[in-house]
Amino acid sequence: MKVKTSITISEDLINSIDELLGEQKNRSEFIEKIVRDYVNRLAQKERNSKDLDILNKKAVKLNKEAEDVLSCQSDL
């Protein structure tokens, strides 16, 4: 579902958008796509940050497990 809204954007930015769009002037679709991409990037950044926090909290245990596995390997 789409919701109609009103935003204020500087004239130079509108001109830049219009230049990019050329004759296919659908600012709403363009702005929606750009905002959606930005929101998705922010969400991914947040997920990555949480994952990194989890890994950092478990790093000591994971490193010890890796050392244990490596110590069981034989030289060829």
Give the start-to-end residue ranges of the domains of the chain. 27-76
Sorted by sequence, the CB contacts under 8 Å of residue 25 that are 6+ apart come out as 18
* pTM (predicted TM-score): 0.67
**pLDDT tens-place values along the chain, 76 residues long:** 999 999 999 999 999 999 999 988 899 999 999 999 999 999 999 999 999 999 999 999 989 999 999 888 877 6
Rounded CA gap, 5 and 25, in Å?
18
List the alpha helices (DSSP H) in 1-76.
11-21, 27-57, 59-71
